[in-house]
Amino acid sequence: MVLWDGGIAKRLRGLSGWPPQGSSYWDLYQPNRWNSGGIATGINNNGYIIGNRWGADGFHGVVLKPDGTIVDLGVGAIPHALNDKNQVAGAVVYKDWNGTEISDPAIWDLGSEEIVVELSVDYPEVGPVLSGYFDAIAQDWEEIRYDLIKAKVRVYKQGSSTPVPNATLVLSSTAQDGSGGHTMASHGGVRPNGTFWLPGQDPNAVAGVRNSITVPVTAIETIYPYLTSGVSGTERLTAAVTVDGKTTTASVDVTIQFNGLHGMARTGSTYEFTDQNGAESQRHGNINHFAQPAFTNSAGAAFQRYFDKVPIANRFSGGATRFLITEASLEHGGLLDVGKTMAWRNPHRAHRTGTDLDVGYATVKNHVEFEKACRYIPVTCQIHCNLGDTDLTNCPLDTQRHYHLSP
């Protein structure tokens, strides 16, 4: 019995065998042509070969696996066809109680041996970096981070309890563009991804590998430490395992966000958010109106008290009729990188947790009354330069200043 591969005949030793001298084993179904000892009748794309061979007790249906092992389908089994799910269709020939030969249809399911890849994480949701200084591209930060997780990769062949031989794993991270309010188009075409460590490595002692790692598969289950980029949004982890040129993948999403923020109406009775689409140094457009409910209630109460205390004609100047808010927080909090040269970094903590509002200073006519309203609620109401500096000698003009509201 042979297999022709590229014009070359290869003997299938596992399917060889010789019938007893002079016997044909149920002549009706096993005529004399079978006396060669075995025959291969089919092969699938997984390399499984079906056929028949003689045994000591008669003719057997058999399946030869790619690794050389044989599955015996039993005496009288005649496999006719098989598919790529390793399911075999055929018949079983036997004699009933009075010696009549009977052929019944049969199906054998050998089970798929496809490569299975599973990927999971211990914490699918973590918080963003909130440290005083943070550079997401360089992954340089201050203080403690809380976004180190464990990515568990399982690689196995169905029906097997041993590691898959000759398998290579590529474990990668891809931040989803636009998630968390950050687009690559507004950040020079780049977006930071996370960092991986090999199993057993200490992230506090060993430098990790950014974006992806490539390693051989040596165990069914392996855990890889992973530190997110620290930027709010979604990062997709993908495990791609390649065996003999065939790649199988699995993915899982990790969400980085500061919980508890809600979207403020962009226009209220006492305030409105200014249009930030296309504004200089503004990378996020009109999606910067998220804050913690308790804080927005306090800020709204300060705005309303100013309205109650100050007559309409004395409230605002420059055509304004409400408080003008330029910045709150992004939907998932975290890094809000404004400024011409500050892509993916910002040296202050403000606007990351939904407890900060930047309010126009120049259009408020009665600063004394507004600051009294803030103290009454109470809400912290500081005057900042537009670039965040609190030294007002650096911004002598009203148009160079804004109110920074916080709890």
For the domain that residue 240 is a member of, what is the CATH number? Answer: 2.60.40.2410
Task: Say yes or no: 325 and 217 in one domain.
Answer: no
Query: What one-character-per-residue DSSP string does 57-96 give?
Result: TEEEEEEE-TTS-EEEEEETEEEEEE-TT-EEEEEEEEE-
Q: How much is the average pLDDT of 248-267?
A: 96
Strand extents, DSSP E, 191-337: 195-196, 209-210, 212-216, 221-227, 233-243, 246-256, 262-263, 271-273, 290-291, 323-327
Looking at the structure, do residues 397 and 274 belong to the same domain, yes or no?
yes
> Tell me, what's the pLDDT at 15?
55
The whole-number pLDDT of residue 266 equals 95
Q: Kindly report the pTM of this predicted structure.
A: 0.75
> Which pLDDT value is given to residue 40?
83
Residues 101 and 121 in one domain: no
Residues 267-294 have pLDDT tens digits of 999 999 998 887 666 788 899 999 999 9
Same-domain pairing of 242 and 304: no
Q: Which of 109, 130, 154 is the last residue of a domain?
A: 109
Q: What is the mean pLDDT of the chain?
A: 86
Calpha distance 76→62 (Å, rounded): 10
C-alpha to C-alpha distance for 328 and 352, rounded to whole angstroms: 9
Residues of the chain with pLDDT > 70, as a percent, come to 89
Sheet with 167-175, side-by-side order of all strands: 125-126, 246-256, 233-243, 167-175, 212-216
Q: Which residues contact 284 (CB under 8 A, 6 or more apart)?
A: 181, 182, 186, 276, 330, 336, 338
Q: What pLDDT is recorded for position 338?
A: 81
pLDDT of residue 3: 59
Q: Can you tell me the distance from the alpha carbon of 25 to that of 15, in angstroms, rounded to the nearest whole number?
A: 17
Query: Do 29 and 101 meet the contact criterion of CB atoms below 8 Å apart?
Result: yes
One-character DSSP codes across 257-289: --TT-EEPPSB-SSEEEPP-TT-TT-SS-S---
Q: Can you tell me the mean pLDDT for 138-162?
A: 88
Q: Among residues 256, 276, 311, which one ends one of the domains?
A: 256
- What pLDDT sits at residue 285? 85
In a shared domain, residues 240 and 295: no
Residues 179, 215 within the same domain: yes
Query: Is residue 141 domain-shared with residue 71, that is, in the same domain?
Result: no
| Residue where one domain finishes, among candidates 256, 283, 299 | 256
Q: Are 198 and 272 members of one domain?
A: no
| pLDDT of res. 18 | 45
- Chain segment 55-101, per-residue pLDDT in tens: 777 778 888 887 778 888 888 898 999 998 889 999 998 877 787 88
**Residue listed under structure tokens 């890889």:** 224
Selected residue with higher pLDDT from 230 and 97: 230
Mean pLDDT over residues 194-217, rounded?
94
Whether 260 shows a pLDDT value over 80: the answer reads yes
Structure tokens given for 95: 């004699």
- Structurally, the chain folds into a number of domains equal to 3
Q: Which domain holds residue 338?
A: 262-406
Token representation of residue 342: 């500050």
Mark whether 267 and 377 lie in a shared domain.
yes
C-alpha span between 63 and 69 (Å, rounded)? 8
49-53, 207-211, 286-290, 397-401: lowest mean pLDDT where? 49-53
pLDDT at 280: 63
Say yes or no to pLDDT of 377 above 80: yes
Whether the per-residue pLDDT at 161 is higher than 80: the answer is no
In terms of domains, do 266 and 402 share one? yes
Which range among 109-123, 164-178, 317-331, 364-378 shows the weakest confidence by mean pLDDT?
109-123
DSSP SS3 for 334: coil
Residue 30 pLDDT: 41
Residues 182 and 209 in one domain: yes
Residue 250, pLDDT > 60, answer yes
Q: Which of 131-145, 226-240, 316-330 has the lowest mean pLDDT?
A: 131-145
The span from the CA of 93 to the CA of 76, in Å, is: 5
Q: What is the mean pLDDT of residues 114-143?
A: 91
Neighbours of 285 (CB within 10 A): 14
Q: Give the pLDDT score at 222.
A: 97
**Among 392, 399, 329, 396, which residue's Cα sits nearest to residue 364?**
399
Query: Is 241 exposed, middle or buried (CB count within 10 Å of its CB: 0-12, 13-18, 19+)?
Result: buried
